[in-house]
Amino acid sequence: DAKTTQPNSMESNEEEPVHLPCNHSTISGTDYIHWYRQLPSQGPEYVIHGLTSNVNNRMASLAIAEDRKSSTLILHRATLRDAAVYYCILRDERYGGATNKLIFGTGTLLAVQP
Amino acid sequence: NAGVTQTPKFQVLKTGQSMTLQCAQDMNHNSMYWYRQDPGMGLRLIYYSASEGTTDKGEVPNGYNVSRLNKREFSLRLESAAPSQTSVYFCASSEFWTGLGAFFGQGTRLTVV
């Protein structure tokens, strides 16, 4: 499985944008980039995913480098409820995703200051 | 919508005892997963089931067995619990073509003494 590298921790101020980086230099052509987050004492929740193009949804935006070796999760206005561990995961979708597993790394602990 | 339901939420076992963690999803997903999370660590995949009738080992399968009982249910069994299996266990399900990612349960906090 291709690996991802994320900073252990980051800090942000409330109401400001947050850019969470992820490096994945060994990404293959069929790997999708997935982001999940885990709030304290909860199970992970899906945030966003993409292949090549930038993606937006109600929670966040995903910016993918042209060579796909890195990506950035963007929270446009951080709130205190966004304090969580954010995981960047690569998932091979060659077989429609049916046989491929989600392998979590250690993620980035985001602290949001009021 | 219940989503992914895990039972029990908390459990204390003595070393050597056995137990089964139950997981059920009501989203008609084909794939289901079991993870463990040790304090301050990320999630590690124990077993997964791509579809009903299939199961495969993940990163840390030793000491565990699984059963995909039907499309809804995926159980995790500890035959002889050890203190090293003290952890929070998460079940998840997914149907990736929906674009919604995987859904996780709230976890089972297991302590083996």
CA separation for the pair B57, A75 (Å, rounded)? 35
Confidence band of A101 (pLDDT split at 50, 70, 90): confident
Tell me, what amino acid is at A16?
A: E
Q: Which residue of A has its CA nearest to B102?
A: A46
A34 to chain B, any CB pair closer than 8 A? The answer is yes
Q: Which residue of B has its CA nearest to A101?
A: B48
| Residue-level pLDDT at B6 | 97
Q: How many residues does chain B have?
A: 113
Q: Which residue of A has its CA nearest to B31?
A: A98
3-state helix, strand, coil in chain A (%, to 5): 5, 45, 50
Q: Minimal CA–CA distance to B23: which of B105, B103, B84, B98?
A: B105
Considering only CB atoms, which chain B residues are within 8 Å of A104? 35, 42-45
> Burial of A14 by CB count in 10 Å (0-12 exposed, 13-18 middle, 19+ buried)?
middle
Cβ neighbours of A44 (radius 10 Å): 28
Q: Test B92 with A43 for CB contact under 8 angstroms.
A: yes
How many DSSP H helices and E strands does chain A contain?
0, 9
- In angstroms, the separation between the Cα of residue B3 and the nearest Cα of chain A is 12
Residue B97 has pLDDT above 70, yes or no: no
| Residue-level pLDDT at A105 | 86
Residue with the larger pLDDT of the pair A88 and B99: A88
A92 to chain B, any CB pair closer than 8 A? The answer is no
Considering only CB atoms, which chain A residues are within 8 Å of B92? 43-44, 102
Q: Test A107 with B42 for CB contact under 8 angstroms.
A: yes
Residue A89's DSSP bridge partners are: A34
Q: Test B104 with A102 for CB contact under 8 angstroms.
A: no
Q: Which residue of A has its CA nearest to B101?
A: A46
Residue A72's DSSP bridge partners are: A21, A63
**Residue B93 zone, left/alpha/beta (φ > 0; ψ -120 to 50; rest):** beta
B35 to chain A, any CB pair closer than 8 A? The answer is yes
Q: How many residues does chain A have?
A: 114
- Residues A45-91 have pLDDT tens digits of 999 999 998 999 988 999 999 999 999 999 999 999 999 999 999 88
Residue A78's DSSP bridge partners are: none
| Residue-level pLDDT at B99 | 67
**Residue B14 zone, left/alpha/beta (φ > 0; ψ -120 to 50; rest):** beta
Interval B69-97 mean pLDDT? 94
For residue A41, what are the contacts with CB-CB under 8 A and spacing of at least 6? none
> What percent of chain A is predicted at pLDDT more than 90?
74
